[in-house]
């Protein structure tokens, strides 16, 4: 009976830790139906185990005939212990599946994030190339504008020079035309 009580105590100590760990994982993966479903399966396994423990104590704590009850408990202990072991194994299996599912979901998220980062980097590289092209085009336009301004300034200077020489009578229209 002491061994059975030790198994029960161990299970009761482990369950809150398992629940707390599961709750933290479920909070991280709130949008994952598969992680939530595995969490629900683990809750059910825990509740089944707790129900099994409580029923055992309820059945064996309300009997009046102590000797008869202790004899019955002694013979049923093995069967109960096997059933409890099965329930505890179910918790372990459910917990493992839950953790595995969370790990898979985490891997999928990491993979998707890496793909999105790579895609974003490709888009940024393309934008950099476009910006470089625009910068080169602007440099070409700037040079063209400078060339046009120089031509216009030279034309204006030549026209001023011509007009000033015409007004001063130093040259004629034919002189500037090369005639």
Residue 54 has pLDDT above 80, yes or no: yes
Find out whether 67 and 36 touch, Cβ atoms under 8 Å.
no
pLDDT at residue 42, rounded to an integer: 94
pLDDT at residue 49, rounded to an integer: 92
Find out whether 42 and 119 touch, Cβ atoms under 8 Å.
no
Which of 22-31, 49-58, 146-155 is least confident?
49-58
Question: Tens digit of pLDDT for each residue in 97-152?
Answer: 999 999 999 988 888 888 999 999 989 988 989 998 999 999 999 999 999 999 99
User: SS3 for the chain, per residue?
Assistant: CHHHHHHHHHHHHHHHHHHHHHHHHHHHCCCCHHHHHHHHHHHHHHHHHHHHHHHHHHHHHCCCCHHHHHHHHHHHHHHHHHHHHHHHHHHHHHHHHHHHHHHHHHHHHHHHHHHHHHHHHHHHHHHHHHHHHHHHHHHHHHHHHHHHHHHHHHHHHHHHHHHHHHHHCCCCHHHHHCC
Token pair 């055992």 is found at 56
User: What percent of the chain clears pLDDT 70, i.e. is strictly above it?
Assistant: 84
Q: Which two tokens stand for residue 20?
A: 């707390």
Mean pLDDT (whole number) for 58-72? 62
pTM, two decimal places: 0.57
Buried b (16+ CB within 10 A) or exposed e, 25-43: bbeebeebeebeebbebbe
């Amino acid at each position: 009976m002491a061994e059975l009580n030790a198994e029960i105590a161990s299970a009761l100590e482990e369950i809150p830790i398992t629940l707390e760990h599961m709750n933290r994982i479920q909070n991280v993966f709130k949008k994952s139906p598969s992680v939530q479903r595995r969490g629900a399966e683990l809750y059910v396994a825990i509740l089944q185990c707790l129900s099994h423990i409580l029923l055992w104590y309820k059945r064996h704590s309300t009997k009046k005939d102590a000797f008869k009850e202790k004899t019955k408990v002694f013979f049923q202990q093995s069967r109960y212990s096997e059933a409890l072991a099965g329930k505890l194994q179910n918790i372990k299996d459910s917990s493992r599946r839950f953790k595995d599912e969370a790990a898979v979901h985490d891997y999928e998220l990491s993979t998707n994030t890496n793909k999105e980062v790579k895609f974003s980097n490709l888009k940024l590289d393309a934008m950099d190339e476009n910006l470089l092209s625009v910068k080169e085009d602007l440099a070409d336009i700037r040079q063209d504008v400078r060339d046009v301004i120089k031509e216009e300034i030279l034309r204006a200077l030549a026209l001023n020079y011509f007009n000033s020489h015409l007004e001063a009578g130093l040259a004629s229209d034919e002189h500037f035309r090369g005639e």
